[in-house]
Structure 1
Amino acid sequence: MGLAERRRTLGYSQEKLAELLGVDRTTVGRWESGKIAPQPPQRPGLAAALEISLQELDALLRPPRAEDQGAAGQKSSDHPSTGDPDEMIRREFLRILTVSGALTALSFDEAEAVADGVRRGSPADFARMNSHLWQVYQLARSKRSVYPVVRDQLATLNEALAGGSRDGSLPLLNAAADLFQLAGEVAYDANRYTDAAASYALAASVSKEAGAYDLWACALVRHGYVDMSEQRYQQAAEVLGAAERIAARGNKSLATRHWVASVQAEVRAGLGDLTGCERALAQAEEVQNLADDSTNSGWLRFDGARLAEERGARYVQLGRLDLAEETLKQALDQTALASGHSYRRRGAVLADLAVIGAKRRDPAQVVTYAREALDLAHASSSGYVARRLQSLCDEFGPLSRDHRVVELGAEIATLRTP
């Protein structure tokens, strides 16, 4: 029995199984045809959906025998008229890039050539494709809209790694480490912490294998955010300590070690260590001494532009409201003037200013800032901004008797966090 036969035995179409697992139908089709294998984080869910053990799943995923290829090929898709999956992926990628405006640097013909190169497994074209995917992610109001094309890019890259030559394997590993970080970012923004942690762990593992120290350190930093989101600051400190050591072996012209320091500041604030927090922020600010090309607009975007709001947020954590409010108001002005205006970035600053109002028992300040952040959360579907606002509700205390705050809390409660 093969994967497709087991699916049909349970009465599932490819669409239904894909819906259960949160993947695209073409991905299920590729699993069943043996073109790609499910990633390790996907296997437990697939086994559960098919009502089999992981060992039985491994048996189903073994390549079919040659004499079975013909029949299997005829049954690999419930909808053979849907077209070639690679062509569909290519068209979807180009559509998303075009809609987002991220194709300003490439003509349509050039973008087609890049997509064709990815289908052939060209390492250089994978790198270019990843770079544009990061642009799409940064420009998209709803980060979740990027997930389908990231998932399909991972599937295509997995095929290239499986069939690639030794000479091309190192660039492909770098591309994989890059793309796993982006997949983790999409999951993290949607509050899918388990998926995010799995993606970051894969990114770190692949980076280590490739000897890419900066990629490796950045993957660990992102993993640290998962711990911090659940207030496991001591565990995050250990992960970031490893990131600091690895970043020290990386490219000194890149901003990696300064980004590590900025996130360490958040950990120190979470642990109540003002001195350690300010020391880490001072190290992060040294990024301003680097050349303009110290970032790559992809897996490493830290250029110090957000340090004012980071410092303000850290002061809120530490209860230094006087220092926090002045710093955050300056940061709010910067987000209004910054090119590439970020809903998530501005929403976080507004939420912090609302927290200050709550700590001061000032309902007018809470409602003024939180309502604007709420509008941004609705406009962007950002799980990150929603989470910040839901944390604000924990600060209401006696303000919960104020009708304006009660109404605000009710609206925040309706925010969807996937």
Structure 2
Amino acid sequence: MTLRRKRFAERRAAQGYSQEDFAEALMVAVSTVVRWEGGRATPRPHQRPRIAHLLGIPLFELEGLLFDVQPVEAAAHFDVPDFRHRDDDDMKRREVLGLLAVTGTLVTLPGLDDSPWQRTDAGLAANKEEVHRGLWQVFTLSDSKQTVFPAVRRQLHALTTSLAGARTEGDRARLCAMTADVYQLAGELFFDANRYTDAAQCYTLAAHAAHAGGAHDLWACAMTRHAYVELYAHRASAAHPLLAAAHRLARRGDSALSTRHWVAAVQAEAYAAVGDIKACTRALDEAEKVHDLDSLPGNGGWLRFDGSRLFEERGACYLQLGRPDLAENALAAALAQPLSLRRRAAVLTNLAVVGVHRRDVEQVMHYAEMAIDLAGQSKSGFVGKKLDGLRERLAPVMADDRISGLDQRIAALSRTA
């Protein structure tokens, strides 16, 4: 047992908790608490605010009992490529993760009388929510998503101050919903950089904040984004229960919003991943009902599903199911629509995969080269990952020298974001 973990155990005992009581309060096994205190394991980020509450200490003090280095730095280090301008962007990312921890604590522990922040009027004007929608619009339109990071940091700073000074339950609920909104945007930034663990942490915190704010649609969207991380990491078995929960939440949300239809669209991808074409088709048909809504179903922010992505999503599902004939028609229809750089690159890459199925080298080269050009413009980890997926499928046409050269070009792409 390290000295830090010994102090952790002593603090737990000083608060009157046995290991069994502590484990029960946290809904974990007693063996998990034993491993925490022995230094053989570390509580997950979403567990730490609750642990700090039970120990009666601020979150930053808990981190001091768990880590020999700054925890956000440790949490930010994964065996994946780094951002451009490494030192500067590492610092930005660590700051965002730190702010997530602070706001997560304030969401978990409302009404702290000894808050170190100056109490402020938490009544937020409507233009604050407009700022959030504006951030999502900038994210959507930006070729390089990481340009949004500074604005997200500023919003998290503002929410930290406002949450610490919330005076009424109404203010607090609204602030929690706004926090869930920004958490989801932060998750999208990490996802674009292929930092899936950071992204999943953001979505978990977003779900918790949305629950605290009584915002079922926001909550469902956070769960759906978390599920998509699992799908993209080829873990459909982990995505299914998240999507089932999101489906139940969406049914309790606002029927005028498109939340339930977006959940269905992602469920279709999960069914495609396990080869269930009937369930996939049913889910896609459910998603298509978004067009029956009377008004614009998205809100320009955390919920942007308006049915415009269904062609590309249907194409991706059919490709996953081994039906390139059906996939090509849907993907061609998607390519005829206005698309963001990232979405266009994904569609082009999928059309190149269709070419591999057909052993059509010309088609593979045509679409893959356009996708590579877009990857160079965006430096997006998401686009790079899509092209890596194409590389994994090139074996049937690798005998052609052009494909061999294409494989090398994709391998040489920068994976920074």
TM over 0.5: yes
SS in 2 for 1:258: helix
SS in 2 for 1:22: helix
Partner of 1:301: 304
| Contact persistence 1:126–1:172 (CA under 8 A) | no
Question: What code does the residue aligned with 1:199 have?
Answer: C
SS in 2 for 1:23: helix
Superposition CA RMSD, Å: 3.0
Partner of 1:103: none
1:343 partnered with 2:341: yes
| Contact persistence 1:150–1:179 (CA under 8 A) | yes
Partner of 2:90: 22
Partner of 2:22: none
Partner of 1:333: 336
1:320 to 320, 323, 332: 323
Partner of 2:177: 174
CA–CA distance in 2 between the matches of 1:211 and 1:42? 17
CA–CA distance in 2 between the matches of 1:348 and 1:232? 20
| Contact persistence 1:121–1:157 (CA under 8 A) | no
Partner of 2:239: 236
1:164 to 145, 163, 166: 166
Change (3 A) 1:149 1:346: same
**1:342 Cα shift?**
0.6
What percent of counterpart residues are identical?
46
1:227 to 226, 230, 244: 230
CA–CA distance in 2 between the matches of 1:40 and 1:176? 12
Q: Deviations over 1:106-155 (max 9, x none)?
A: xxxxxxxxxxxx99873534312111111111111100111121122112
Change (3 A) 1:42 1:392: farther
Partner of 2:130: 128
2:368 to 370, 389, 406: 370
Change (3 A) 1:315 1:155: same
| Contact persistence 2:230–2:238 (CA under 8 A) | yes
2:397 to 396, 399, 405: 399
Select between 314-323 and 157-166 the one with higher mean Cα deviation. Answer: 157-166
**1:216 Cα shift?**
0.2
2:266 to 258, 263, 266: 263
Partner of 1:88: none
Partner of 1:251: 254
Partner of 1:193: 196
Partner of 1:69: none
CA–CA distance in 1 between the matches of 2:384 and 2:221? 25
Change (3 A) 1:42 1:393: farther
| Contact persistence 2:133–2:301 (CA under 8 A) | yes
SS in 2 for 1:174: helix
Partner of 2:57: none
Aligned length: 323
CA–CA distance in 1 between the matches of 2:400 and 2:94? 52
SS in 1 for 2:398: helix
Partner of 2:143: 141
Task: Trace 1:29-40 onto structure 2 (pairs within 5 A).
Answer: 38-40=99-101
CA–CA distance in 1 between the matches of 2:295 and 2:309? 15
CA–CA distance in 2 between the matches of 1:196 and 1:292? 31
Partner of 2:155: 153
Question: What code does the residue aligned with 1:288 have?
Answer: H
Question: What code does the residue aligned with 1:383 have?
Answer: G
CA–CA distance in 2 between the matches of 1:331 and 1:199? 30
| Contact persistence 1:123–1:171 (CA under 8 A) | no
Question: What code does the residue aligned with 1:367 have?
Answer: M
Change (3 A) 1:368 1:187: same
Question: What code does the residue aligned with 2:132 have?
Answer: N
| Contact persistence 2:122–2:166 (CA under 8 A) | no
Partner of 1:210: 213
**1:372 Cα shift?**
0.4
| Contact persistence 2:92–2:149 (CA under 8 A) | no
CA–CA distance in 2 between the matches of 1:278 and 1:26? 42
TM-score using structure 2 length: 0.72
| Contact persistence 1:41–1:195 (CA under 8 A) | no
CA–CA distance in 2 between the matches of 1:374 and 1:41? 39
Change (3 A) 1:133 1:362: same
Question: What code does the residue aligned with 1:282 have?
Answer: D
Change (3 A) 1:119 1:143: farther
SS in 2 for 1:211: coil
Q: Deviations over 1:190-223 (max 9, x none)?
A: 1111110011001000001111000000000000
2:415 to 411, 414, 417: 417
Give unmatched runs, 5+ long, in structure 2.
1-59, 71-85, 105-113
Task: Trace 1:4-15 onto structure 2 (pairs within 5 A).
Answer: none
